[in-house]
Amino acid sequence: MVLDPGAAAAGGLGASAAPRLPGRHGPPLCSCPSPPAPAPGPAPRCPRGTRRLSETGAGMRRSESAGGRGGMRAAASLPHIARGRGEEGGGRRSPCLLVALRPRNVEAERERFFRASFAYDPQFEYAEPVPAAVLDKYGAASDRFVAQAIRIIRAVLEKYGTYESFEVATGGRLLSKCQIWSVIRKYMQKEGCVGEVVVQLTDDLLSQAVMMVEDSRPTLAINLAGARQHWLEGMLRHEIGTHYIRGVNNTRQPWHSSEGRKQYSLKPANPTEEGLASLHSVLFRKQPFLWRAALLYYTIERASRLSFSALFQDLEQYVQDAGVRWEYCVRAKRGQTDTSQPGCFSKDQVYLDGILRILRHRQTIDFPLLAALGKVSYEDVNRLKKFGVLEKARIPHFMQDLERYMKQLDHIVTTNGLNEEELEQLLPD
């Protein structure tokens, strides 16, 4: 494993044989063992043009102060924005789009908003102008799946009363650094990628996890505040078992470059990429509710119609914690300066969108092949099969038992109140 100084990090070195495709249409006070010394030889590097950032979040932490009106805190749930290719640099990490979209005065505006008893619309400032092309691309929200989003949210609240109760009941206790280290090590061994990803443990993230490229190496940063007993492995399935493995497989395909994608007329990797990763986050939970994806989808749709303060009030019917509501509102309103106006940043709707599309077509998708072909849409899998480089392709360990995998997808459909007829009507062939 690779220890990243200053961040209680864990990674590892080593490799294992790629699995076959299943047939189917911290601090020294810690009592845990020290990380083993790195094995000789460099870990795999990410080629230029394949770098991405991904962020996972299973749930949002409640604020630490009484009534949710306390100071700034880290969130544990919000997904991340991918770094644009123009921001990729060699060597050290360059500022990503998430940084550009984060208001530089967010803490001051939060304090002012709470002092005003939520009757104020923040006026956000940004260190650099937000690219107009980005705002244009993500300026319109969809309402296509709002009814499904609301149903999922209400199902959670009906069963658990509040989201906080759901988080404690299904996520379990927060893990110590030693326990997190142990889970990470075991998971990397399962995927045969020990040593290929640097893992950092930190309390300085606004999300549960973020996958990035730093110093030309894939790096996964994990928020200590969001690492829960029953949810941590789901986060690793999201980031390592989906994004990283598909990325590694993608580097071997003839469509690994933008030119190659044009040559093979590939559809965008999203919403398949994030939909698949989000399903893997909840795959083996006893109660695999799609709360986060649903609430993000709903919040963005409402933000497109409401001011910040009105959106904050609207969310109270689903989220009582004022600190959590603030974070969802900031997420939906990022990029805006005057938040008294309707408007949204719609990228986070991709999660529920992708989830529902995959569930709709799950009986006809070859999931191991979807992983093996790299960053492709499920819609392109069948026609790309004859062109793909499948020898030594990596398949996530949790897809090896495909019968169990498919049963878990069915369980997700049932738990979230979905059904085949509804999915077919929403997404006709």
d(CA 362, CA 342) in angstroms, rounded, equals 36
Catalytic option among 239, 273, 274, 301:
239
- Strands 198-202, 217-223: pairing is parallel
CA distances from 67 to 13, 62, 71, 111 (A): 46, 10, 11, 14
d(CA 157, CA 394) in angstroms, rounded, equals 38
CA distances from 133 to 38, 84, 129, 136, 304 (A): 43, 12, 11, 5, 18
239 is annotated as an active-site residue: yes
Q: Which residues contact 155 (CB under 8 A, 6 or more apart)?
A: 289, 415, 416, 417
Structure tokens at 319: 């989220």
Q: Are 198 and 2 in contact (CB under 8 A)?
A: yes
Catalytic residues: 239
